[in-house]
Structure 1
Amino acid sequence: MNSSRRGALKAGLLGVAACSVPHAFASPATARQDTTASPSGTTPQPWGKGIEGQRKGDLGNGYFLNPIMAGDYPDPTILKDGPDYYMTFSAFENYPALIIWHSQDLVNWTPLGPALEKPIGSVFAVDLVKHGNRYYIYIPILPTATGPDADHRPKIYVVHADTITGPWSDPIDLQIPGLIDPGHIVGEDGKRYLFLSGVSRVRLSDDGLSTDGPVSLAYEGWQYPDEWITEAFSLESPKLLRRGEYFYLITAEGGTSGPATGHMVNAARSRSVLGPWENCPHNPIVRTQSDSERWWSRGHASLVEGPAKDWWMVYHGYENGFRGLGRQTLLDPIEWTTDGWFRAKGGDLSKPIAKPAKGKSNAHGIAKSDNFAMAAFGTRWNFYNPGHGEQARARFENNALLLQGKGLTPTDASPLAVLTGDHHYEVTVQMELIGEAIGGLLLFFNKQLYLGMGHDGSRMTTYRSGRPSYWPEPAPAGRIWHLRIVNDRHIVTFFYSLDGVKWTRHALRSEVSGYNVNVADDLASLRPALFATGAGSVRFSNFQYRALA
């Protein structure tokens, strides 16, 4: 859902490129190292490096450096289940959706698989909970249907499973139109409730699969000073927990994109889930104070108890200078104060923080390279805005992905994309054109904004700003192509080769820092993607991802 529509919805619920001559290319040059202060403040400390050199938070010395999930992992919802932690994120138009991630130390996360396979609309700001012995995900869905009679109001669905790895049920419509951002809580009366944008509240049935009463206004928010620079009021993302004699309600205000200083984390409490709610005298708990900080638009928080019974806050933020990576997941230590409130201890999150004590580290992330020996939908690859049965377009045979063409341009091709959280990386793939197909490699933000290369066997098409460019790249004819894209901190260079040995640099370079939410008005990220259009198919093989220094 685009940011202005999302903000307006919530408010409404509350009453040149440099040209050069092509040349042969052997290997990309090395570049700068991302660094920050070490725990001692004396020597530079890089981010940790994981699979394929991917950026990760764990520094390997007892400290971590945010983000804990690098890349487009917005609206985190976290569940503690004994020694295990599970987390999932907004998926929007990317399916399979709602990948469940697992950790035992809050820093290193391993994907388990998706909870939502079949596309039903744009998925955002969910709540993952466990009640009794069953797992639930409460899911706001914005319909993507078009036409004069289409209902564009969001709806709340729920899926459930007996184990965290599923199988998950089909989505159940809770018949709550026009509201988003669910937060589940069990009240002092033993009844289950959903809090929603606004902030509204509705009681649930005991099985959590239907409502049991009307939707009513629950809380009107904390009013920040009018002179603060924010996107919009946007009272959203109610997350709740019960601790001691109080229920705590954590909300976001200020809008999730727009100015860097907009988004914030606020708190309120009550002795009853029905209120009245007392605003924290220390609000906002978290807010970006200046656009000179590393993390912008910090908000949408949940509290979670750590392995050593200490407490942490998980939320998202945009990285200064890298909004195109989307909203990344941040981990902030908190402490409970003598007056029964809590405060954040991580400051602006620009420096390493001691890892949660007593946690057990597991492998972090997943390889993005793929030899296509088997399907990896929902963990590595996601279709953008797919139709029903979209996965049937893809067949895996002889270590290759055979992708059937769809549409005429990448705009309507439902590209197959992989997330990235790195500042500097390269992706390479081999493709073979079959029949009357056009295939290619992109950096894809959404159907209006992308760039890359495509080839139909006779000529190459260059894409920029979401449409074919006038640039007539003199690539030869050919049915088998090797394509490479290098993104070096927003400077994007294309390369192509007929044999995978001698590479030609595309004569056009692009600067892509503008491929972000405040330009595209969409809560998305720029990610590598494969596409196939036309009447034929494209056989992709040997997709390689490499994070560079």
Structure 2
Amino acid sequence: MSDLGNGTFQNPVLDADYSDPDVCRVGDDFYMTSSSFNAIPGLQILHSKDLVNWKIIGYAIDRLPPYDHFSKPQHGNGVWAPSIRYHKGEFFIYWGDPDFGIYMVKTKNPAGRWEAPVLVMEGKGLIDSCPFWDEDGQAYMVHGWAGSRAGIKSILSLNRMNPEGTKVLDEGVMVFDGHDAHPTVEGPKLYKRNGYYYIFAPAGGVATGWQLILRSKNIYGPYEEKIVLEQGKTPVNGPHQGAWVDTKSGEDWFLHFQDKEAYGRVMHLQPMKWVNDWPVMGEDPDGDGKGHPVMTYKKPNVGKSYAVVTPQESDEFTSPTLGLQWQWHANPKATWAFTTNKGNLRLFTDQMPQGGKNLWDVPNLLLQKFPGEAFTVTTKLKFTPNPKLENERTGLVVMGLDYGFVSVVSKKDGLYLTYNTTQKADKGTAEKEQILGKLSGSEVHFRVQVSKGGQCQFSYSEEGQNFKDAGGPFTATVGKWIGAKVGIFALREEKTNDSGYADFDWFRITK
């Protein structure tokens, strides 16, 4: 919990994997989005009244284009470092897909439906895009480059756009080259203040970088440069990449991420002030303009106090729609999951992809972010396999490059409980399976307790009271550019015209 209830907060304000966050303010409301990569629905939208308490209110895309391409897991691809802006009554989100180009979606209601994505600029290696509308009506877009696709990185480019922001009008101009002093400069955000154009850009790499500010009286530069936020002697490694926002009361704040390995990139909030037309973020102990992250601070002055809220976690499956915390590993098929009028979620088993070696290749994993460093997940399910099939399976999984799960699997002579683990799943490693015993009925409770350091202990219970450990502890790991996730799945090996199903009664997270 970030809100300490006494007018102060502690960092991180979001202790979950909201990487590359961007925020805009409209009136009294703050709206945030972040990188969602291949997870769908993508571009989750979070809302806050005070920059400390956040809740998921929707998402901007329910399918990733090109739709066939993202029908199978594309780990680490898809939505990179988005930006969210409000312009002439509409919300715009731009993001770079490193394989296809820069897309834009827009809406008048960020909690509602967003329009279909528009490809603003086609090309490989185009990432980390941010639009900007100047006072004279001219529209621009600044972006970075992915070395893995473009063969070049650490530079920022600026393109002119049409006023609607739907397409670029030129080949672009390089406005900054970070090769000399700021390697891996990326994630640019473009602002204007006091006659200066500012590019806020992270540099130095995800885990250990710093926040760079560029400024110029001309949007094309040349730009002066200054480092305004770095780790210093704090425990917050690589404090960079994010959003400058102000409050109605005139305060300035900066939101950025910190890479916490298996827990992903969590979001911090820093006080910010302007000194000689340069921003200073966090605390500046020696007065050199290079701030260091704060761990606790007084909450932003937004005129009143708001209730403590956190992003959704548990789900009782009593609503006609899935909770907004859930994401699939690829563009979903309608047959994977059904909310019901019986207060449960029905997952039908889907066939393992042809050539699939383990869960890394499986699209129908229904997952959510780790909600903190230590927590417990418990879920109750009833499994009804197809009597004509064997080896249908459903379970509770912690997913990453290494993964572990507890499951129920159907055999000729009944249902069996298993504990499975895989290391380096992205390399096609086969699972190690441990048979835990035979299930006497068809219902089971599965649990995983996650402790600091990503240590996961799975367990199971037939009656929901006495839980038995499933194997030894398993250590959660990162996925591709994301933190570990936890969730549920239902799989089969064979092709058939009907399948078994698992009814999940609820999915509860306690801390």
TM-score bracket, shorter-length normalisation: 0.7 to 0.9
Shift of 1:427: 0.8
Number of equivalences: 453
Q: Classify 1:172/1:413 alpha carbon distance in 2 versus 1 (closer, same or farther; 3 Å).
A: closer
Quote the Cα distance in structure 1 between the aligned partners of 2:129 and 2:348: 37
- Aligned position for 1:288: 231
1:367-388 residue CA offsets vs partner (Å, 9 max, x unmatched): 422221124546221112234x
Which structure's relative contact order is higher, taking Cα pairs within 8 Å and 6+ residues apart? 1
Q: Classify 1:546/1:376 alpha carbon distance in 2 versus 1 (closer, same or farther; 3 Å).
A: farther
- Aligned position for 1:357: 301
- The partner residue of 1:506 within 445, 470, 487 is 470
Quote the Cα distance in structure 2 between the aligned partners of 1:523 and 1:508: 27
SS at match of 1:416: strand
Quote the Cα distance in structure 2 between the aligned partners of 1:340 and 1:216: 25
Alignment check: 8 A CA contact 2:270 2:294 kept = no
Q: Which amino acid aligns with 2:442?
A: R
Quote the Cα distance in structure 2 between the aligned partners of 1:164 and 1:470: 44
- Aligned position for 1:107: 52
- Aligned position for 1:330: 268
Q: Classify 1:101/1:399 alpha carbon distance in 2 versus 1 (closer, same or farther; 3 Å).
A: same
Q: Classify 1:190/1:333 alpha carbon distance in 2 versus 1 (closer, same or farther; 3 Å).
A: same
- The partner residue of 2:253 within 297, 300, 312 is 312
Quote the Cα distance in structure 1 between the aligned partners of 2:278 and 2:121: 35
Q: Classify 1:202/1:350 alpha carbon distance in 2 versus 1 (closer, same or farther; 3 Å).
A: closer
Shift of 1:222: 7.5
- The partner residue of 1:234 within 169, 173, 184 is 184
Quote the Cα distance in structure 1 between the aligned partners of 2:56 and 2:449: 26
Q: Which amino acid aligns with 1:65?
A: Q
Describe how 1:120-519 pairs up with structure 2 within 5 A: 120=65, 121=70, 122-142=78-98, 153-178=99-124, 179-187=126-134, 189-197=136-144, 198-221=155-178, 223-224=180-181, 233-257=183-207, 262-280=208-226, 283=227, 285-289=228-232, 293-319=234-260, 323-337=261-275, 339-346=276-283, 348-349=292-293, 351-360=295-304, 361-377=306-322, 379-387=324-332, 389-390=333-334, 393-408=337-352, 410-411=359-360, 412-436=362-386, 437-445=392-400, 448-457=401-410, 458-464=415-421, 465=423, 466=425, 467-476=430-439, 478-489=441-452, 490-512=454-476, 515-516=477-478
1:144-185 residue CA offsets vs partner (Å, 9 max, x unmatched): xxxxxxxxx241111111222232100011133121101111
Q: Which consecutive unaligned segments of at least 5 residues does structure 2 have?
A: 71-77, 145-154, 284-290, 353-357, 387-391, 493-498
Alignment check: 8 A CA contact 1:154 1:180 kept = no
Quote the Cα distance in structure 1 between the aligned partners of 2:398 and 2:322: 19
- The partner residue of 1:70 within 15, 22, 43 is 15
SS at match of 2:473: strand
Quote the Cα distance in structure 2 between the aligned partners of 1:189 and 1:433: 62
* TM superposition score normalised by structure 1: 0.78
Identity %: 23
Alignment check: 8 A CA contact 1:433 1:456 kept = no
Q: Which amino acid aligns with 1:449?
A: D
- Aligned position for 1:147: none
Q: Which amino acid aligns with 1:528?
A: V
Q: Which amino acid aligns with 2:173?
A: S
Alignment check: 8 A CA contact 1:431 1:439 kept = no
Q: Which amino acid aligns with 2:449?
A: V
Q: Which amino acid aligns with 2:178?
A: G
SS at match of 1:300: strand
Quote the Cα distance in structure 1 between the aligned partners of 2:467 and 2:418: 17
Shift of 1:213: 2.1
Alignment check: 8 A CA contact 1:191 1:206 kept = yes
Describe how 1:51-70 pairs up with structure 2 within 5 A: 56-70=1-15
Quote the Cα distance in structure 2 between the aligned partners of 1:379 and 1:264: 32
Alignment check: 8 A CA contact 2:56 2:325 kept = no
Shift of 1:483: 0.8
Quote the Cα distance in structure 2 between the aligned partners of 1:171 and 1:477: 49
- Aligned position for 2:38: 93
Quote the Cα distance in structure 2 between the aligned partners of 1:429 and 1:530: 9
Q: Classify 1:366/1:317 alpha carbon distance in 2 versus 1 (closer, same or farther; 3 Å).
A: closer
Quote the Cα distance in structure 2 between the aligned partners of 1:345 and 1:482: 45
Quote the Cα distance in structure 2 between the aligned partners of 1:235 and 1:404: 45
- Aligned position for 2:495: none
Tell me which moved more, 70-79 or 172-181: 172-181
Shift of 1:297: 2.0
Q: Which amino acid aligns with 1:397?
A: N
1:344-386 residue CA offsets vs partner (Å, 9 max, x unmatched): 2345435311111134424522442222112454622111223
Q: Which amino acid aligns with 1:399?
A: G
- Say what the alpha-carbon RMSD is for the aligned residues: 2.1
Q: Which amino acid aligns with 2:395?
A: G
SS at match of 1:336: strand
Alignment check: 8 A CA contact 1:75 1:90 kept = yes
Shift of 1:541: 0.9
- The partner residue of 1:119 within 56, 61, 64 is 64
Q: Which consecutive unaligned segments of at least 5 residues does structure 1 have?
A: 1-55, 143-152, 226-232
Quote the Cα distance in structure 2 between the aligned partners of 1:112 and 1:383: 18
Q: Classify 1:476/1:456 alpha carbon distance in 2 versus 1 (closer, same or farther; 3 Å).
A: same
Quote the Cα distance in structure 2 between the aligned partners of 1:183 and 1:474: 54
* TM superposition score normalised by structure 2: 0.83
1:481-530 residue CA offsets vs partner (Å, 9 max, x unmatched): 11111112233211111222332222322233xx13xxx5x211112210
1:271-317 residue CA offsets vs partner (Å, 9 max, x unmatched): 1212221223xx2x112246xx4222221132111232011111111
Q: Which amino acid aligns with 1:405?
A: T
Alignment check: 8 A CA contact 2:197 2:215 kept = yes
Q: Classify 1:511/1:135 alpha carbon distance in 2 versus 1 (closer, same or farther; 3 Å).
A: closer
